[in-house]
Structure 1
Amino acid sequence: MSDIEKRARELLASEYEADGCMQLARMIRSGAVTDPVFGSVKIMRAMRAITAALTPPEGYVLVPVEPTEAMLQEIHLVKSFTGEAMHRRYAAMIAARPEMLGD
């Protein structure tokens, strides 16, 4: 199960849990509801829609707003950058990103 599918399952399970459907929420989280024969077709449609919404478009990847330590270590291979300069450059890169495809 991919990280995106896990996140989709958690989001959907949380909604069912909020409605008091604890057993169904547990089944969704565990992956027991995986096909239309066993599970609800509506649940599977919701899972596909949530997974699609969480999946970045082709050619894009998700990055954190603040760089991780590992990312900073990789940038540090360029000796001329200071820690502060790396943070500023990374922030500028994030600010320059397109909000949606075609922007």
Structure 2
Amino acid sequence: MDAIEKRARELLATAYEADGMGGRAVVIRNPNQYMEKPDRRALGCIIAALTPPEGYVLVPVEPTEDMLQAGYPRNERIDDTFDRLGAWADMLAARPEVP
């Protein structure tokens, strides 16, 4: 189970608990249990909503120190020869995982 599915399951389970449906929340949190069709559909919709479109990734609003370090050229001046796309790729590679 990836981080997005885990988050989707937790969001759906929390919503069920808020509605007094703790039993369904237990089922949602356990990927090995059978889920009814409406639950599978709801989970699929939440996963789709949380998944970035093809070619996009999630990044923090403010770059982390690791991202800044990865994007700044060591021993290079930032001038016309600076590889901005390469720096951006390095910064994205250094991004933290989505919690």
How does the TM-score come out when normalised to structure 2?
A: 0.68
Higher relative contact order (CA 8 A, sep 6+): 2
Amino acid at match of 1:22: G
Segments ≥4 residues shifted beyond 4 Å: 78-81
The aligned residue for residue 13 of structure 1 is: 13
Structure 1 residue 76: deviation in Å? 3.4
Aligned-partner Cα distance in 2 for 1:68–1:8: 25
**Percent same amino acid at aligned positions?**
55
CA contact (8 A) 2:16 2:22 kept: yes
The aligned residue for residue 22 of structure 1 is: 22
Structure 2: give runs of 5+ residues left out of the alignment.
79-87, 89-99
Structure 1: give runs of 5+ residues left out of the alignment.
82-89, 91-103
Amino acid at match of 2:36: S
Mapping of 1:57-72 within 5 angstroms?
57-72=53-68
The aligned residue for residue 32 of structure 1 is: 32
CA contact (8 A) 2:16 2:24 kept: yes
Aligned-partner Cα distance in 2 for 1:23–1:78: 55
The aligned residue for residue 84 of structure 1 is: none
Q: What SS class does the counterpart of residue 66 from structure 1 fall into?
A: coil
